[in-house]
Amino acid sequence: MRATKRVKFVDSSTNYNDAHVILNVGGVRFETQRTTLKKLPATRLSKLTPQLSFYDPVLNEYYFDRHPGVFSQILNYYRTGKLHYPTNVCGPLFEDELSYWGIQREEVEPCCWMTYTKHRSTQETLQTLDSLGLDTVRSNMIDLIKKFDWENDLHFMTTGQLPLAKRIRLITWQLFEESRSSIIAKIIAFISMLFILLSITTFVLRTLTIFEVAEYHFVDVYIGDNSTEKTPVQSTERIKIVDGFEIIEWICNSWFAFEIVLRFILAPSKRAFCVSILNWIDFLGTFFFFFTYILYNVFNYDGHQAPLDLLSTISVARMFKLINLHPRLKIITISISNSSRLLVLSMYFCFVVILIAGAALYYAERISNMSKSQIISVMDGIWLALTTVTTVGYGDIVPKSLFGMILGAITTIFGVLIIDLPMPIINEIFDNFNRHLLARQQLPKQRRRVTQ
């Protein structure tokens, strides 16, 4: 009525009628000028003509079945030429409206960039969480067949059943890979874990001096009249450890070897299997055990052994396998790997600062008193700078001169600064994952998937 009356009264002044446009967006009337709408050419509102089906000639208005609140923000873009995100609705909702009205969301003003990108990072976080498969306890058959690429199996296509061999492979695979899928799978997972713990305990304990058994070489010693005598000389290189440890290690590694071989044979995609870092840890840990055993006992290698032992450290890394047990531990790893680029850059920055501080400390100490100084090379200076910047402060090397102390003080304060600078960002990445993980867990399972 209101509008019709206006039509009546203002009919003569076609100017006014032409100029004003009434847009009924979801029941709320917006009024603007036609010239305003022409400002953004290739959009839905710039092409309004009375011939359109959603034009109501009686009320002289265009009807759109859209969100009225958000529209006031969109119309403002026409008015001011600046696209701002509203902050009372969430990003995706506004972006849906933008795409309906035919507006490029990249046109957003710099002040709203954060709002613009926030939604994107949320979606990335959610997709990462999705891809971790935290909720999968037991894949269903169809998914598995797809995974193993057996959809075109003849037997399966005719009878709807896989041949026995493939069925066994599937079940065995599930036993080893989906640790919560059945009771037997749980038992296998438990055994595997036990062997890992046993192996690590052995690893730690066997270096303790109380378990060492002195091993002797027998060396011929000439005595008096040309006769030789075998004299035991304690081997300094290779220390024999009590036999119990060796037996335990043999058992553990046999299991690991069996497990890795079986898992490799069963794996649907050999390439995916070989790309996994955890599998490599597993393989190398086992491989080095047998390799060093053969080297020492078959080839009687007697040279420098420490580097070999260092390699066997990798077997401790097997503990990382236990991380799969809990979603939150998974997201710790994900957070660290997601912020790895920032970490590397921070470390590089740290490294430069430590280098400069180290060199400065070295010369500062040299100037003051060369003889008392504990810093006898730039290397020592760098080590001092490192332990200072990280606030570890072992105290094995310490600045002794006043100038060195002042430099040390400055290094300390800079250290705290540089170490802590990227912290909140990494923390936020973890925090973000953690919150969404917790949020997910409060939702029913079927609502958790982001990707359809």
Residues 15-34 contacting a second copy, CB under 8 A = 20, 22-24, 26-33
- Enumerate residues 391-430 that contact K ion by CB under 5 A: 393
Q: Which is nearer to K ion, 327 or 415 (CB)?
A: 415
CA distances from 67 to 60, 63, 73, 356 (A): 20, 12, 11, 59
Please say whether the beta carbons of 286 and 252 come within 8 A.
no
Spatial distance between the Cα atoms of 177 and 148, rounded to a whole number of angstroms: 14
| Token representation of residue 39 | 């400002």
CA distances from 348 to 100, 341, 368, 388, 416 (A): 46, 11, 30, 17, 15
For residues 367 to 396, the per-residue mask of contacts with K ion, x marking binding by CB under 5 A and - elsewhere, is --------------------------x---
The answer for residues whose C-beta is within 8 angstroms of residue 198's C-beta and 6 or more apart is: 248, 252
For the CB of residue 383, give the shortest distance to a second copy in the complex, in Å: 6
For the CB of residue 73, give the shortest distance to K ion in the complex, in Å: 53
Q: Based on the shown chain and the rule CB under 8 A, indicate whether residue 93 belongs to the binding site for a second copy.
A: yes
- Enumerate residues 211-270 that contact a second copy by CB under 8 A: none
For the CB of residue 265, give the shortest distance to a second copy in the complex, in Å: 29
Q: Which is nearer to K ion, 239 or 398 (CB)?
A: 398
For the CB of residue 38, give the shortest distance to a second copy in the complex, in Å: 13
Spatial distance between the Cα atoms of 233 and 238, rounded to a whole number of angstroms: 12
Mapped onto helix, strand or coil, the DSSP state of residue 62 is strand
- Enumerate residues 59-78 that contact a second copy by CB under 8 A: 59, 63, 65-69, 72-73, 75-76
- Say which amino acid occupies 147: K
Spatial distance between the Cα atoms of 131 and 145, rounded to a whole number of angstroms: 19
In the beta sheet, which residues pair with residue 241? Answer: 212
Q: Based on the shown chain and the rule CB under 8 A, indicate whether residue 87 belongs to the binding site for a second copy.
A: yes
- HEC profile for 320-362? HHHHHHCHHHHHHHHHHHHCHHHHHHHHHHHHHHHHHHHHHHH
Task: Pick one of 203, 256, 288, 289: the residue that binds a second copy (CB under 8 A).
Answer: 203
- Is residue 53 classed exposed, middle or buried when 0-12, 13-18 and 19+ CB atoms within 10 A define those classes? exposed
For the CB of residue 2, give the shortest distance to a second copy in the complex, in Å: 4
DSSP structure string for 146-199: HHHT-TT-HHHHHHSS--HHHHHHHHHHHHHH-TTSSHHHHHHHHHHHHHHHHH
Task: Pick one of 42, 204, 214, 298: the residue that binds a second copy (CB under 8 A).
Answer: 204
Q: Based on the shown chain and the rule CB under 8 A, indicate whether residue 313 belongs to the binding site for a second copy.
A: yes
Spatial distance between the Cα atoms of 139 and 146, rounded to a whole number of angstroms: 11
List the single partner that 356 binds among K ion, a second copy, none, CB under 5 to 8 Å by kind.
a second copy
- End-to-end CA distance of the chain: give it in Å, rounded: 47
Q: Based on the shown chain and the rule CB under 8 A, indicate whether residue 423 belongs to the binding site for a second copy.
A: yes
Q: Which is nearer to a second copy, 165 or 306 (CB)?
A: 306
Spatial distance between the Cα atoms of 415 and 413, rounded to a whole number of angstroms: 5
List the single partner that 111 binds among a second copy, K ion, none, CB under 5 to 8 Å by kind.
a second copy
Sheet containing strand 28-33, strands side by side: 28-33, 20-25, 61-64, 55-56
Q: Based on the shown chain and the rule CB under 8 A, indicate whether residue 48 belongs to the binding site for a second copy.
A: no
List the single partner that 430 binds among a second copy, K ion, none, CB under 5 to 8 Å by kind.
a second copy
Q: Which is nearer to K ion, 92 or 393 (CB)?
A: 393
List the single partner that 360 binds among a second copy, K ion, none, CB under 5 to 8 Å by kind.
a second copy
For the CB of residue 390, give the shortest distance to K ion in the complex, in Å: 9
Q: Based on the shown chain and the rule CB under 8 A, indicate whether residue 442 belongs to the binding site for a second copy.
A: yes
Q: Based on the shown chain and the rule CB under 8 A, indicate whether residue 86 belongs to the binding site for a second copy.
A: yes
Task: Pick one of 10, 171, 193, 248: the residue that binds a second copy (CB under 8 A).
Answer: 10
Q: Which is nearer to K ion, 315 or 388 (CB)?
A: 388
List the single partner that 306 binds among a second copy, K ion, none, CB under 5 to 8 Å by kind.
a second copy
Q: Based on the shown chain and the rule CB under 8 A, indicate whether residue 362 belongs to the binding site for a second copy.
A: yes
Contact positions vs K ion (CB under 5 A): 393
